[in-house]
Each structure stands twice: as structure tokens, then as C-alpha cells.
Structure 1
Amino acid sequence: MSKLYEISERYKNIQVLLDNPELPNEEIKKALDNIGEEFDTKAENVAKVISSMNSDADGIKKEIERLQERKRVVENRVKGLKTYIYEQMQSTGKKKIKGILFTLAIQKNAPSVNVINEDVVPEQYKVPQPYKLDKKAILEALKQDIKIDGVEIKQGTSLRIR
């Protein structure tokens, strides 16, 4: 029988393996299979690893959201500063400023189309869009015993850890 600290060390090693995205799942499964424990105990310990990884994923998600918000703020600040310079150059009649590091110039953008009334545009300029099934509406209809050809309700199983 393994000592507790040896088992703990094995699970720490598993955590290191899980943190390596290049390691194939088969290698992780082999490492888990090599931990000599009773099945129920092993399953619970793997659930602890899963819980720890879910916490890591939640933390990463929150950090991504924080950084995306920060990025949005910085991009808006840049846009505001560019608008400020543009407006000031327009009001003073300057078309170009040559500095030591940067040259600022007001220039024309590439031409673009402004759609005034989409309904009167000839069909040859319209791109057909592929349809998309409304699976939520289909599921609700099937639950109300409405028969719809080509679809059925499926219900699988999965592991739930509480």
C-alpha cells in the first residue's frame, strides 16, 4: 500500500502533465492508470484535479475578460486622441504635420459604399445567405409532441461532479 505523501506526489505529477498542452491524452491516461489506488478513491482524487483545473479555467476566463475590457478602453482612448488631432488639424487648416518621429496627415480614405435603401438594390448585387436551423424552436416543438420530419430528440449521458 502506498503512503499518502507518495500518492499526493503522484497527483501533483499528474497536474504537471495536465498543464502541458502538447502531451497526448493517452499519456495522461497511462499516468493515471499507474497510480495504485482503489477505483473509488482514484475517481474522487481525479475529481479533485478536475475541480482544481476548473478553478484555474475560471480565473483565466476572468483575466481574459478583464484584459479585453482594458483593450477596449485603450482602443477607445486611441480613437479619441486621433479624433482630437484630426479635429484640431481641420480647424486650423493644416493638412500635414512633419515631426521628428511621426508625420501626421489628413488624407482621403479608400472609397466605400453607403447603402441608402437595400430594397431597391438589384438582385445581382445581393449575396444569398445559407439558412440556419432554429434548434431551440425545434426542441420545444418536439417536446410538445409536434412531429417534425428529419429530426428527433436525443439525450446522452455525461459525468457530473458535485
Structure 2
Amino acid sequence: MSNLFGISSDLEQVKAMMIDPEYSEVDLKDTLDSLELEFEKKAEGIKYVMLEKKAHIDALKERKKVIDARIKQEERGIESLNRYLYDAMLFTGKTKFKTSEFTFYIKNNAPQIDREKLDVSKVPSEYFIEQEPKLDSKKLLNDLKAGKEIETAELKVTESLVIR
């Protein structure tokens, strides 16, 4: 059994031979039919492999969700332990100490904006960053589909294989 591209090439050769008077119409049609059947079987086989790969991808995505949830759980556990140790250090007044392995201390962090108290509408405009205009691709596509002519913008149609 040859590969899918070989079968495609064979199909083209047989189709070309059909116009050659040296071969009978019946012989060529039988050969063509058998090759097309083989091609169809291989195409079907490829689709089954694609379905298996899709199922494997879906299973991996589900596994990733489980692993991501476990990672988040572990991160929350670290944060919780850090808060517990911080609170315990404040409560006991031991805000700086060393062990044989680590040094523990509480430090003041860099100043930051208190977002809970900030009313953005009252902040002067000098504190806002101007941004570059961003293309609204959806609006552009809809206008082009509606027949609107826009310089350098045009629709293109591509092809893709559909297997149902």
C-alpha cells in the first residue's frame, strides 16, 4: 500500500491515461476506482489518527487543569504560611532573628499607591499615559463585509480541509 501522496499522484496519472486511446475505458475506470477506494481508506485512517490525537490533547488539557489547581493550592498554602509567620513575628515582637539556615526579618516595602482610596476621576490628566490608537479589526471586517471601501483594506478568503 503506498502513501497518501503516492495515491494522489497515481490518481492523476490514471486520469491522464484515460484520454490515451491505448487503454480501454473500462480498465482505466476500474483502476481509478480501486485507487480512489484506497485513497479514501487512507484518508479515513488519517482522520481516525487525528481524532485520537484530539482526544489525547483534551485529556492533557484536563490533566493540566488538575495540575494548575494543585499549583494554585500550593501557592495559597505558601502565602498562608507566610502570613502566619509574619503575624506570629509581630505578635511576639521578634521582628528580626537568625537560625542556622535562614535570616528572618520584617521590612518596610517601597511606597505604593493605595488603590482602595484612589478616585481616578479626580487625578489630574498629567498622570495619564496617552496610548497609540489600536485597530478595531472586528469593526473593520464588518464594514468590509458590508461593502464599505477602505484604502489598503480588503477581504481575503482562504481554504481549509473539513472532515465531518
TM-score greater than 0.5 by the shorter chain? yes
Trace 1:5-154 onto structure 2 (pairs within 5 A). Answer: 33=5, 38-114=38-114, 116-118=118-120, 120-121=123-124, 123=126, 125-140=127-142, 145=146, 147=148, 149-150=150-151, 151-154=153-156
Task: Give how far 1:139 is off.
Answer: 4.2
- Structure 2's unaligned 5+ residue stretches are 11-34
Deviation string for 1:9-36 (max 9, x for gaps)? xxxxxxxxxxxxxxxxxxxxxx764799
- Cα gap change, 1:114 to 1:146, in 2 (>3 Å): farther
Distance 1:83 1:148 in 2: 60
Task: Give how far 1:100 is off.
Answer: 3.0
- Cα gap change, 1:33 to 1:81, in 2 (>3 Å): same
Task: Give how far 1:113 is off.
Answer: 4.4
> Considering only CA atoms, is the larger Rg found in Structure 1 or Structure 2?
2
Query: Partner of 2:70: helix, strand, or coil?
Result: helix
Q: Which amino acid aligns with 2:162?
A: R
Query: Partner of 1:49: helix, strand, or coil?
Result: helix
Query: Partner of 2:104: helix, strand, or coil?
Result: strand
Question: What is the TM-score of this pair, normalised by structure 2?
Answer: 0.62
Distance 1:148 1:89 in 2: 68
Identity of aligned pairs, percent? 34
Task: Give how far 1:109 is off.
Answer: 2.0
Deviation string for 1:64-116 (max 9, x for gaps)? 22211111111111111101111111122211132232222111223444563
For this pair of structures, how many residues does the alignment match? Answer: 132
Distance 1:149 1:51 in 2: 42
Query: Partner of 1:44: helix, strand, or coil?
Result: helix
- Cα gap change, 1:57 to 1:139, in 2 (>3 Å): same
- Structure 1's unaligned 5+ residue stretches are 8-30
CA RMSD of aligned residues (A): 3.2
Distance 2:63 2:92 in 1: 43
Question: What is the TM-score of this pair, normalised by structure 1?
Answer: 0.63
